[in-house]
C-alpha cells in the first residue's frame, strides 16, 4: 500500500464488478439510505407500472415513455454505480490486507512463571493472554511487547519492507497481528480479541462496511430532502394549474420534470465523495477511524507539530567549533573528533564529518592509539575517549563543567590556559554556550584532561521548504504551533527560523493537553500527532489525533487516525485531504442546484406548449420538439452523474490561496458553470437524439 | 421612464440609506438595554409593565420559553380581536352603527392583523367601527410589528452571543436568547410609539383626518348627497407603514386622498415602510461587531430591490401595445392615481411587496403582466428584500444559512456563519421554514384553481384570473396583505383558507427561526481566520442573491409561467382577457 499504488478510475478490475454492484444496490434497504435516489427509484417504479399498463391496454407515445423510463432507471443505476466504483477501490485494498490474516499458530505461554508454551490457533487467543513469538513466527494478534526485542517486518500493513524494531517498554512496544518477527524473540501480551484487531478494523474501514454518515453529510441530506419536497410541491400542483388553463400534463412528463429538478447529481455522488475521501487518506497510508475525523481535518484551525522530525530533520548536526580563547579551532576539532570516533549517534558522526571537511582531520587507526572509549550514560551525560593517558570528554555544558571543576589538577599542557584562572574560562564557555542556545542550537562542551577547550555547535536543521509550507498553512487560515522539549530560548530561535506561528517549549504531556484545551475553549479545532503512551490523553483530546503506527497501543487507541508510515509531516496533507473532501461536496451541491435553471427552460415550454403555444419563446435553447426537450433534459440529468464520477473520486483541487479567492474561483466554476453547462449539454443531446430519430 | 421618475426613486433610496445608521444605532441601544434619550420617560413605564407581567429585565428565556410566550401572546391577541369584531355592534365608539362582523370574516381579519398580514376582505369605512379600527387593528399593528422585531433580535443574539439581559450562562455557552416580554415592550415603547406619534402629527399636518367624529355629510354641486368617511386615520396610517402592516383605514388604502394626500405623504409612507427593516441589517452588524456584515445583507436586498423597481417601472412605462394601436400613447395608467404617476406607483408596489407591508397606492391587478410579476416574485421569495419589520431579517437569515451551507463547503471547511457552525439542526429548521411558503402558496392555489366555487370568485378569465388566485395565497402566506384586485375574497372558502395560509406563513417560519436561535446561541464561536468564508464582501452578496433566486424562486417557475408570464406573451400576441 504505497502512495503510488492508486487504483485508476478506469481500472476494469473495479469497473466490471461495480456494474454488477449497481444492480445489487437497487435493494430498497440500501436505497433508503439515500433519500434523493430513493425518491427517484420510487417514481421510476410508478412510471414503469404506468408504462406497462399502457403497453397492455394500448396508449400513446409508448416509445417516448419507454425512453423516459429507461433514463429514470439509469439515473438510479448511475448513482449506485458511482458508489460502487468508490467502494471498489477500497475493496481492492481490503483484499490484499485479508491475505495477511491467514490462520496462524500461537505459542501461548502457560504456567505461573510462563516458561512453558503450548501451540494454539491464533483465533483462540483472548485479551491478556501472553504469547511467545520467535524469529520466523507471525505475530498472532495485536499486542504489546512485555519482554524482549525483535526486528519485525510490518510490510503487511505499511507496505514498507525494511524491518522495524519492537521492544518492551518505551514508545515502540506495540505489535500488530499479521506482521512477522524476523530475528530474536519477544513476549507479547495480547490486546485485541480475534475479529477486532487492527487489520480487521482496517479492512472494514477501507471497504466502507462501517461507513456512517458524517455530521455534515447528515445536514446536507436534510437540505437535499427538503429541496426534493419543495419540488414535489412545485410539480404536484402543476396538473391543477394546467386544468385551470384547460390542458393536461401526462404523468411521465411531470415525473421527468420532477426528477430533473431535484438535486440528483449531488444525491447520487454524495456517498462516493465520502468514500473517496477516506480512500485518499488510505493511499497516503493514513487510516481514519471515522469519516467524522476526515471532516474535522478540513476544519482544523491549529496544528500542533512536533519539532523533531516534522519541522527539523530528526537529528542535530555539528556546524561549528567554538574554542575558548587560547585554544585553536584545530585543537578543539581534533579533540572533538577523537571523542566522537566511536560515537555512533548521528550527532557524533556529524562531528567527525565536520572535522574532516573543515579541518581535514582524517580518521585514525584506533587500535594504534590504544584508545578506550567511554560511552554515554544517563548519569554522566558525557561520552569520550581515554588514550595515551589523556582523557577527552564531550557532553552537555553543565555536565562537562561539573566534571572539570572538582579539584582539577593543573596539568598544564598549555601555558596560556594555566595562566588564566579556571572560572574565567568557565565564564567564557558559558557565554559561548548561551550564544549558541539563543541561535536555536545545542552547545556541546569539550574538555581534555580537565581543561575546557570549547564548544561544539549542534544545530537543528530546519527542513527545506517547511517555511513555505507554514506560510501556505497561514494562508489557509491555520495556525501552527511547534511542540518541543527544548528550552524556550532554543525553541524561539527555531520557531523563528521555521516560520511557525507559536511554540510550546519544554513541552510535557500535561502542558500539551492544556494547550489543546485552551485552543478548543477559544472555539478552535486542533490537530496533532503523537506516538507515546503519554501522548494518549492529548491525542484523545485533539479533534484530529494522528497516532504513529510505530507508537504504543494506548496512543493508537486514543487517536482517530493512524499514520502507517509514522511520518508526522503528513498532518499537513491530512488537513488538505479533509478540505478537499468538503470542497468537492460543496462544489457538486452548488453545481447540482444551479443546473435547475436550464432544466426549467427545457421542460416548461415543452410541457405547456399544447395549451399556451406562446410559451414557446421560453424555449431559448431552440430544442426540436417538446418530446426531445424533455428527453434531452432527463438524459443530461443522468449522464452528468457519470461525467462527474471522476471528479467526485479525485476531488476538487485545494489551493492555499485564502478563503475569498478560493470561493470566487469555485463559485465561478461550479456556480456559474452549473448554470451554463446544462444549457449546452441539453442542446447537444437534443441535436443528437433528433438526428438519430429517438424523438 | 423619465429622468424625473428615476430621480424620485433615487431620492427614496438615498433617504432610506441615510436613515440606516442612526436608526440602527438607536435600535441597538434599545435592544441591548442601554440608556437612550427616551429612557427618563419610558423606564418607569417599562418597569411597571414588567411588574404587571411578573417578569424582570434580568430574566432571560430559553428559546422554547420565548416561543411559548410569543405563541400565547399572539393567541390571546387573536381571541381579543375576534371578539371585538364579533361584538362591535354593541361596543362603544361606533358612530356609523356598523354591524357585527360574520364569523369567517372575523377569523380571517383577526388572523390577518395578528400575523402582520392585514389582508382585508372587507371595506374599512363600510364595515369597521372606530373602536375596532383603533383598539383592534391599530393595537395589533403595533404588537405584530413588535413581535417580528423581537424574533429578529432573538436571532441576532444567537450570532452576537449577547443575551440581551444579564441572563444565565450555561456550561456549554449561553442557552437563553432574551426575554420576549422585554423585547416586545422595548420595541413598542422605544421604537414604534415615538416614531408613530411623530409621523401621525406629520400626516395630520399634510391633511390626513384624525377624528372621532361621525362621517361628514356633504352636498355636491349637482345636488347629490354624499357621505364622506373620516375617522382616526392618521394614527393608524403611521403604524400601518412603519410596522409594515398595510391594512388601510379606507378600502382604497393609500390610494385614497385622505390616506395619502400628496407626493410628500407618499414619500414619507414609502420611506417608513423600509426604515426599520433596513435598519435591522445595521443592528445586526453592530451586534455582531462588524457593520460590514449588515451592509452586505442590505446590499443583497438592494440589488434585488432595484432590479424589481427597474422591471416594474419599465413595464408600466412601456404600457400596453393595444392602447398604443388605438393611439393612446404613454404608459399604463390604469388603476393608478394621477398625483403619484407611473414612477411612484411602480416604486410603491415594489416596496410594499418587498417589505411585507401590503399597503397600496395603485391597483396591482391593473398593472401590466410583467409589472404584476415582480410583486408576486417579491412575496414568493419570502419577503426578504428588506422585508417586514424583523420578519424580513429573520427571513433572509434563513436564506443565508442555506447559502452558506451549500457554498460554504467550497472553502474547505464545514459551513459556518459568523463563527457559528451550521449543522443538521439548523439545516432542518431552515428547510422547514422555507418549505412552508410554497406549501401554503402552491397547495391552496392548486385546490382553488380546480374548485368551481373558488374559481367563481375571480374577476377576469384566463391567466390573469389565475394570477388573482395565486396572488391572494402568495400575499396571505407571505403575510403581505396586498391584493390583486378582481378576486372576491369575502367568501367562506377564501376567508378560511387565506386565514390558514397567513397562520402557516407566519408561525411555521417563526418557530424554526427561534429554534435556530436557540441552537446557535449554545454553540461556541469559531474565531475567523484566513480560511473562513468571508461574508462581508461582494462575493457573499452575489451568492446570497443567487441562492434567494434559485432556492426561493425556482419553486414558483411553473406557476409564474402559467400566470403573469403567459399573460404577457399572450398580450404581445394580441389577445387580452
| 577 residues of chain B, pLDDT tens digit each | 899 999 999 999 999 999 999 999 999 999 999 999 999 999 999 999 999 888 888 888 999 999 999 999 999 999 999 999 999 999 998 888 899 999 999 999 999 999 999 999 988 788 999 899 888 999 999 999 999 999 999 999 999 875 444 334 433 446 889 999 999 999 999 999 999 999 999 999 999 999 988 888 999 888 889 888 888 899 999 999 999 999 888 888 999 999 999 999 999 999 999 999 999 999 999 999 999 999 999 999 999 999 999 999 999 999 888 778 887 788 889 899 999 999 999 999 999 999 999 999 999 989 999 999 999 999 999 999 999 999 999 999 999 999 999 888 898 888 999 989 999 999 999 999 999 999 999 999 999 999 999 999 998 888 999 999 999 999 999 999 998 878 888 999 999 999 999 999 999 999 999 999 999 998 888 888 878 888 998 999 999 999 999 988 888 999 999 999 999 998 887 776 6
Locate the chain A residue with the closest alpha carbon to B403: A590
Based on the number of CB atoms within 10 Å of its own CB, is A277 exposed (0-12), middle (13-18) or buried (19 or more)?
buried
What gap in Å lies between CA A74 and CA A639, rounded to an integer? 9
Interface touch A608/B566, C-beta < 8 Å: yes
For residue A612, the chain B residues in CB contact (below 8 A) are: 562, 566, 569-570
Measure in Å the smallest separation between the Cα of B24 and chain A Cα atoms: 28
Length of chain B: 577
| Residue B551 neighbours by CB distance under 10 Å | 25
Sign of the C-alpha dihedral, residues B154, B158, B162, B168? positive
Q: What is the pLDDT of residue A422?
A: 63
Measure in Å the smallest separation between the Cα of B335 and chain A Cα atoms: 26
Q: Return phi, psi of residue A175, to 5°.
A: -125, 155
Q: Which residues, numbered 190 to 229 in chain A, qualify as contacts with chain B under a Cβ-Cβ cut-off of 8 Å?
A: 215-216, 218-220, 222-223, 225-227, 229
Q: 3-class SS at B61?
A: strand
For residue B535, the chain A residues in CB contact (below 8 A) are: none
**Is A382 marked within a binding site?**
yes
Q: How many CB pairs under 8 A join A and B?
A: 213
The residues with which A530 forms a beta bridge, in sequence order, are A547
Q: What is the pLDDT of residue A365?
A: 64
Higher pLDDT pick, A380 / A79:
A79
**Is A107 marked within a binding site?**
no
Can you read off the three cell numbers belonging to residue B414?
A: 464545514
Q: Return phi, psi of residue A544, to 5°.
A: -125, 110
Q: Which of A46-50, A401-405, A631-635, B165-169 has the least mean pLDDT?
A: B165-169
- A620 CB near a chain B CB, below 8 Å? no
Higher pLDDT pick, A116 / B42:
B42
What's the average model confidence in pLDDT over A302-329?
83
Measure in Å the smallest separation between the Cα of B515 and chain A Cα atoms: 16
- Is CATH 1.20.1600.10 correct for A103-203? no
Helices (H) and strands (E) in chain A, counts: 27, 20
CATH number of this structure's domain A314-457, picked from the four choices 3.40.1110.10, 3.90.1150.10, 3.40.50.920, 3.40.50.10470: 3.40.1110.10
Q: Spell out the alpha helix ranges (H) of B355-443.
A: 369-380, 391-408, 424-438
Q: Which residues, numbered 456 to 475 in chain A, qualify as contacts with chain B under a Cβ-Cβ cut-off of 8 Å?
A: 474-475
**Is A607 marked within a binding site?**
no
Measure in Å the smallest separation between the Cα of B382 and chain A Cα atoms: 14
What residue ranges do the domains of chain B occupy?
Answer: 391-576
A490 CB-near residues (< 8 Å, 6+ apart) = A437, A438, A440, A441, A442, A460, A484, A505
A652 CB-near residues (< 8 Å, 6+ apart) = A580, A583, A584, A587, A666, B410
**Is A376 marked within a binding site?**
yes
| Residue A28 neighbours by CB distance under 10 Å | 10
Interface touch B534/A663, C-beta < 8 Å: yes
Q: 3-class SS at B139?
A: helix
The residues with which A164 forms a beta bridge, in sequence order, are A152
A516 CB-near residues (< 8 Å, 6+ apart) = A304, A526, A528, A538, A541, A542
Can you read off the three cell numbers belonging to residue B226?
A: 354624499
For residue B551, the chain A residues in CB contact (below 8 A) are: 227, 593
Q: Of A478, A664, A670, which has the smallest distance from its Cβ to B539's Cβ? A: A664
Q: What is the pLDDT of residue B160?
A: 87
**Is A531 marked within a binding site?**
yes
Q: How far is CA A357 from CA A352, A441, A521, in A?
A: 9, 20, 52
Q: Which of A306, A334, A565, A567 is catalytic?
A: A306
Q: Which residues, numbered 411 to 470 in chain B, qualify as contacts with chain A under a Cβ-Cβ cut-off of 8 Å?
A: 411-415, 419, 422-424, 426-428, 431-432, 434-435, 438-439, 442-443, 445-447, 449-450, 455, 463, 466
What gap in Å lies between CA B227 and CA B189, rounded to an integer? 37
Interface touch A479/B524, C-beta < 8 Å: no
A22 CB-near residues (< 8 Å, 6+ apart) = A77, A78, A80, A81, A84
- B533 CB near a chain A CB, below 8 Å? yes
- B326 CB near a chain A CB, below 8 Å? no
Measure in Å the smallest separation between the Cα of A628 and chain B Cα atoms: 19
In this structure, are residues B285 and B292 in contact, taking their beta carbons and an 8 Å threshold? Answer: yes
| pLDDT surpasses 90 at A127 | no
Higher pLDDT pick, B76 / A148:
B76
Confidence of residue A208 (pLDDT cuts 50, 70, 90): low
Q: Of A243, A604, A666, which has the smallest distance from its Cβ to B558's Cβ? A: A604
Interface touch A618/B526, C-beta < 8 Å: no
Q: What is the pLDDT of residue B542?
A: 93
* Angle formed by the axes of helices B139-160 and B63-86, nearest 10°: 170
In this structure, are residues A460 and A423 in contact, taking their beta carbons and an 8 Å threshold? Answer: no
For residue A245, the chain B residues in CB contact (below 8 A) are: 463, 466, 562, 566
Locate the chain B residue with the closest alpha carbon to A234: B555
B223 CB-near residues (< 8 Å, 6+ apart) = none
The residues with which A153 forms a beta bridge, in sequence order, are A180
What gap in Å lies between CA B385 and CA B375, rounded to an integer? 11
pTM of the model: 0.87
The domain made up of A300-311+463-564 has a fold known as Rossmann fold (3.40.50)
| pLDDT surpasses 70 at A656 | yes
Measure in Å the smallest separation between the Cα of A479 and chain B Cα atoms: 9
Q: Which residues, numbered 520 to 549 in chain A, qualify as contacts with chain B under a Cβ-Cβ cut-off of 8 Å?
A: 522-525
Measure in Å the smallest separation between the Cα of A267 and chain B Cα atoms: 13
Q: How far is CA B525 from CA A98, A524, B156, in A?
A: 45, 9, 14
- A671 CB near a chain B CB, below 8 Å? yes
- DSSP letter for each residue of B167-217: --EETTEE-EEE-HHHHHHHIIIIIIHHHHHHHHHHHHHTT--B--SPPEE
Which of B416, B527, B531, B567 is most worth mutating to test chain A (most A CB atoms within 10 A of its CB)? B531
What residue ranges do the domains of chain A occupy?
Answer: 12-92+205-284+575-692, 103-203, 300-311+463-564, 314-457
> What percent of chain A clears pLDDT 70, i.e. is strictly above it?
92
Measure in Å the smallest separation between the Cα of A243 and chain B Cα atoms: 7
Q: Spell out the alpha helix ranges (H) of B87-192.
A: 103-114, 124-127, 130-131, 139-160, 180-186
**Is A154 marked within a binding site?**
no
Q: What is the pLDDT of residue A294?
A: 86
| pLDDT surpasses 60 at A8 | no
Interface touch A219/B439, C-beta < 8 Å: no
Q: Which residues, numbered 252 to 291 in chain A, qualify as contacts with chain B under a Cβ-Cβ cut-off of 8 Å?
A: 261
Confidence of residue A226 (pLDDT cuts 50, 70, 90): very high
Q: 3-class SS at A315?
A: strand
For residue A230, the chain B residues in CB contact (below 8 A) are: 434-435, 438, 555
Interface touch B449/A583, C-beta < 8 Å: no
Interface touch A219/B431, C-beta < 8 Å: no
Interface touch A478/B531, C-beta < 8 Å: yes
Locate the chain A residue with the closest alpha carbon to B539: A664
In this structure, are residues B139 and B126 in contact, taking their beta carbons and an 8 Å threshold? Answer: no
Q: Which residues, numbered 146 to 185 in chain B, qualify as contacts with chain A under a Cβ-Cβ cut-off of 8 Å?
A: none
Confidence of residue A9 (pLDDT cuts 50, 70, 90): low
| Residue B418 neighbours by CB distance under 10 Å | 23
- B553 CB near a chain A CB, below 8 Å? no
Of A138, A213, A217, the residue nearest A176 (C-alpha): A138
For residue A475, the chain B residues in CB contact (below 8 A) are: 530
Interface touch A230/B555, C-beta < 8 Å: yes
| Active-site residue, A137 included | no
What gap in Å lies between CA B152 and CA A682, rounded to an integer? 43
For residue A580, the chain B residues in CB contact (below 8 A) are: 412
Q: Model confidence over A336-391: pLDDT tens digits?
A: 888 888 777 778 888 888 888 888 877 666 666 677 888 877 677 788 888 877 88
Amino acid at each position: 500500500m504505497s502512495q503510488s499504488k492508486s487504483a485508476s478510475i478506469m481500472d476494469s478490475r473495479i469497473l466490471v464488478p461495480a456494474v454488477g454492484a449497481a444492480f445489487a444496490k437497487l435493494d430498497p434497504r440500501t436505497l433508503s439510505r439515500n433519500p434523493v435516489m430513493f425518491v427517484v427509484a420510487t417514481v421510476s417504479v410508478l412510471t414503469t407500472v404506468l408504462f406497462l399498463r399502457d403497453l397492455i391496454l394500448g396508449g400513446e407515445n409508448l416509445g417516448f415513455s419507454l425512453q423516459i423510463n429507461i433514463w429514470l432507471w439509469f439515473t438510479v443505476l448511475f448513482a449506485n454505480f458511482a458508489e460502487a466504483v468508490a467502494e471498489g477501490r477500497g475493496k481492492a485494498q481490503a483484499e490484499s490486507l485479508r491475505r495477511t490474516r491467514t490462520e496462524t499458530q500461537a505459542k501461548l505461554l502457560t504456567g505461573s512463571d510462563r516458561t512453558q508454551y503450548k501451540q494454539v490457533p491464533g483465533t483462540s487467543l483472548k485479551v491478556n493472554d501472553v504469547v511467545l513469538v520467535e524469529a520466523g513466527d507471525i505475530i498472532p494478534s495485536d499486542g504489546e511487547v512485555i519482554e524482549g526485542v525483535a526486528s519485525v517486518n510490518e510490510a503487511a500493513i505499511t507496505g514498507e519492507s525494511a524491518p522495524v524494531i519492537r521492544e518492551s517498554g518505551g514508545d515502540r512496544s506495540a505489535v500488530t497481528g499479521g506482521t512477522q518477527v524476523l530475528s530474536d524473540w519477544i513476549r507479547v501480551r495480547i490486546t485485541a480479541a480475534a475479529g477486532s484487531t487492527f487489520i480487521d478494523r482496517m479492512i472494514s474501514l477501507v471497504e466502507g462496511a462501517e461507513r456512517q454518515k458524517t455530521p455534515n453529510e447528515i445536514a446536507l441530506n436534510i437540505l437535499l430532502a427538503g429541496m426534493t419536497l419543495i419540488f414535489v410541491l412545485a410539480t404536484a400542483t402543476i396538473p391543477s394549474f394546467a386544468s385551470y388553463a384547460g390542458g393536461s400534463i401526462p404523468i411521465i412528463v411531470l415525473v421527468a420534470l420532477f426528477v430533473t429538478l431535484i438535486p440528483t447529481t449531488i444525491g447520487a455522488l454524495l456517498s462516493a465523495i465520502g468514500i473517496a475521501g477516506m480512500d485518499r487518506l488510505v493511499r497516503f497510508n493514513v487510516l481514519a477511524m471515522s469519516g467524522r475525523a476526515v471532516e474535522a481535518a478540513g476544519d482544523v484551525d491549529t496544528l500542533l507539530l512536533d519539532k523533531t522530525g516534522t519541522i527539523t530533520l530528526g537529528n542535530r548536526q555539528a556546524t561549528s567549533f567554538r574554542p575558548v580563547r587560547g585554544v585553536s579551532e584545530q585543537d578543539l576539532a581534533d579533540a572533538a573528533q577523537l571523542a566522537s570516533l566511536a560515537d555512533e549517534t548521528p550527532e557524533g558522526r556529524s562531528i567527525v564529518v565536520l572535522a574532516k571537511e573543515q579541518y581535514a582531520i582524517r580518521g585514525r587507526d584506533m587500535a594504534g592509539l590504544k584508545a578506550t572509549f567511554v560511552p554515554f550514560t544517563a548519569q554522566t551525560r558525557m561520552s569520550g575517549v581515554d588514550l595515551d593517558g589523556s582523557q577527552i570528554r564531550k557532553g552537555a555544558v553543565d555536565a562537562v563543567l561539573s566534571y572539570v571543576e572538582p579539584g582539577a589538577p593543573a596539568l598544564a599542557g598549555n601555558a596560556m590556559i594555566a595562566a588564566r584562572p579556571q572560572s574565567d574560562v568557565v565564564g567564557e564557555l558559558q557565554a559561548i554556550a548561551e550564544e549558541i542556545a539563543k541561535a536555536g542550537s545545542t552547545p556541546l562542551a569539550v574538555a581534555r584532561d580537565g581543561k575546557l577547550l570549547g564548544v561544539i555547535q549542534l544545530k537543528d536543521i530546519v527542513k527545506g521548504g517547511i517555511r513555505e509550507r507554514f506560510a501556505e498553512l497561514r494562508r489557509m487560515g491555520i495556525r501552527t504551533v511547534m511542540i518541543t522539549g527544548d528550552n524556550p530560548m532554543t525553541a524561539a530561535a527555531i520557531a523563528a527560523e521555521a516560520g511557525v506561528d507559536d511554540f510550546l517549549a519544554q513541552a510535557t504531556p500535561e502542558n500539551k493537553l492544556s494547550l489543546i484545551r485552551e485552543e478548543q475553549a477559544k472555539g478552535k479545532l486542533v490537530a496533532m500527532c503523537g506516538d507515546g503512551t503519554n501522548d494518549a490523553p492529548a491525542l484523545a483530546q485533539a479533534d484530529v489525533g494522528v497516532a504513529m503506527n510505530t507508537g504504543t497501543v494506548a496512543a493508537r487507541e486514543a487517536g482517530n487516525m493512524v499514520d502507517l508510515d509514522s511520518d508526522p509531516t503528513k498532518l499537513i496533507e491530512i488537513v488538505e485531504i479533509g478540505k478537499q473532501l468538503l470542497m468537492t461536496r460543496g462544489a457538486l451541491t452548488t453545481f447540482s442546484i444551479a443546473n435547475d435553471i436550464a432544466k426549467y427552460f427545457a421542460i416548461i415550454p415543452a410541457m405547456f406548449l399544447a395549451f399556451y403555444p406562446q410559451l414557446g419563446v421560453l424555449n431559448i435553447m431552440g430544442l426540436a420538439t417538446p418530446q426531445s426537450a424533455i428527453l434531452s433534459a432527463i438524459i443530461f440529468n443522468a449522464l452528468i452523474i457519470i461525467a462527474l464520477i471522476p471528479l467526485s473520486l479525485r476531488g476538487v483541487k485545494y489551493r492555499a490561496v485564502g478563503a475569498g479567492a478560493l470561493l470566487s474561483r469555485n463559485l465561478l466554476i461550479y456556480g456559474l458553470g452549473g448554470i451554463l453547462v446544462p444549457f449546452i449539454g441539453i442542446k447537444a443531446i437534443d441535436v443528437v437524439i433528433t438526428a438519430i430519430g429517438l424523438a | 421612464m423619465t429622468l424625473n421618475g428615476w430621480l424620485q426613486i433615487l431620492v427614496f433610496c438615498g433617504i432610506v440609506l441615510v436613515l440606516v445608521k442612526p436608526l440602527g444605532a438607536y435600535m441597538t441601544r434599545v435592544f441591548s438595554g442601554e440608556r437612550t434619550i427616551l429612557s427618563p420617560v419610558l423606564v418607569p413605564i417599562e418597569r411597571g409593565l414588567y411588574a404587571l407581567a411578573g417578569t424582570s429585565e434580568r430574566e432571560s428565556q430559553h428559546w422554547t420559553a420565548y416561543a411559548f410566550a410569543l405563541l400565547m401572546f399572539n393567541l390571546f391577541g387573536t381571541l381579543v380581536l375576534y371578539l371585538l369584531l364579533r361584538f362591535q355592534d354593541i361596543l362603544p365608539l361606533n358612530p356609523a352603527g356598523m354591524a357585527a362582523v360574520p364569523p369567517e370574516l372575523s377569523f380571517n381579519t383577526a388572523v390577518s392583523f395578528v400575523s402582520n398580514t392585514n389582508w382585508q376582505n372587507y371595506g374599512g369605512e363600510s364595515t369597521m367601527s372606530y373602536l375596532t379600527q383603533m383598539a383592534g387593528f391599530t393595537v395589533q399593528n403595533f404588537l405584530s410589528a413588535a413581535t417580528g422585531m423581537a424574533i429578529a433580535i432573538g436571532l441576532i443574539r444567537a450570532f452576537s452571543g449577547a443575551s440581551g439581559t444579564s441572563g444565565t450562562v450555561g456550561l456549554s455557552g449561553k442557552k437563553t436568547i432574551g426575554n420576549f416580554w422585554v423585547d416586545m415592550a422595548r420595541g413598542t415603547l422605544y421604537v414604534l410609539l415615538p416614531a408613530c406619534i411623530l409621523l401621525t402629527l406629520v400626516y395630520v399636518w399634510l391633511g390626513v383626518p384624525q377624528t372621532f367624529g361621525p362621517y361628514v355629510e356633504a352636498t355636491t354641486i349637482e345636488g347629490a348627497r354624499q357621505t364622506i368617511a373620516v375617522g382616526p386615520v392618521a394614527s393608524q396610517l403611521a403604524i400601518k407603514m412603519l410596522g409594515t402592516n398595510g391594512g388601510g383605514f379606507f378600502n382604497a388604502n393609500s390610494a385614497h386622498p385622505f390616506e395619502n394626500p400628496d407626493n410628500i405623504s407618499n414619500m414619507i409612507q414609502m420611506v417608513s415602510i423600509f426604515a426599520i427593516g433596513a435598519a435591522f441589517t445595521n443592528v445586526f452588524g453592530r451586534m455582531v461587531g462588524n457593520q460590514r456584515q449588515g451592509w452586505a445583507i442590505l446590499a443583497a436586498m438592494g440589488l434585488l430591490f432595484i432590479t424589481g423597481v427597474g422591471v416594474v417601472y419599465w413595464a408600466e412605462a412601456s404600457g400596453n401595445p393595444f392602447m398604443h394601436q388605438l393611439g393612446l400613447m404613454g404608459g399604463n395608467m390604469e388603476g393608478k392615481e394621477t398625483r403619484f404617476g407611473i414612477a411612484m406607483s411602480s416604486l410603491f408596489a415594489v416596496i410594499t411587496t418587498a417589505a411585507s407591508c401590503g399597503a397600496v397606492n395603485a391597483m396591482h391587478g391593473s398593472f401590466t403582466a410583467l409589472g404584476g410579476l415582480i410583486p408576486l416574485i417579491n412575496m414568493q421569495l419570502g419577503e426578504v428584500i428588506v422585508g417586514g419589520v424583523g420578519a424580513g431579517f429573520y427571513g433572509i437569515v434563513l436564506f443565508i444559512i442555506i447559502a452558506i451551507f451549500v457554498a460554504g463547503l467550497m472553502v474547505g471547511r464545514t459551513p459556518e456563519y459568523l463563527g457559528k457552525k451550521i449543522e443538521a439542526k439548523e439545516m432542518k429548521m431552515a428547510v422547514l421554514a422555507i418549505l412552508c411558503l410554497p406549501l401554503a402558496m402552491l397547495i391552496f392555489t392548486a385546490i382553488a384553481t380546480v374548485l368551481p366555487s373558488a374559481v367563481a370568485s375571480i374577476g377576469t378569465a384566463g391567466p390573469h384570473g389565475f394570477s388573482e388566485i395565486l396572488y391572494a395565497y402568495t400575499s396571505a402566506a407571505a403575510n403581505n396583505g396586498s391584493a390583486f384586485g378582481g378576486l372576491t375574497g369575502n367568501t367562506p372558502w377564501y376567508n378560511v383558507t387565506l386565514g390558514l395560509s397567513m397562520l402557516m406563513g407566519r408561525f411555521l417560519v417563526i418557530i424554526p427561526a427561534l429554534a435556530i436561535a436557540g441552537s446557535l446561541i449554545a454553540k461556541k464561536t469559531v474565531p475567523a481566520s484566513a480560511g473562513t468564508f468571508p461574508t462581508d464582501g461582494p462575493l457573499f452578496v452575489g451568492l446570497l442573491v443567487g441562492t434567494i433566486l434559485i432556492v426561493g424562486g425556482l419553486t414558483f417557475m411553473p406557476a409564474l409561467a402559467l400566470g403573469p408570464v403567459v399573460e404577457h406573451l399572450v398580450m404581445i400576441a394580441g389577445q387580452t382577457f
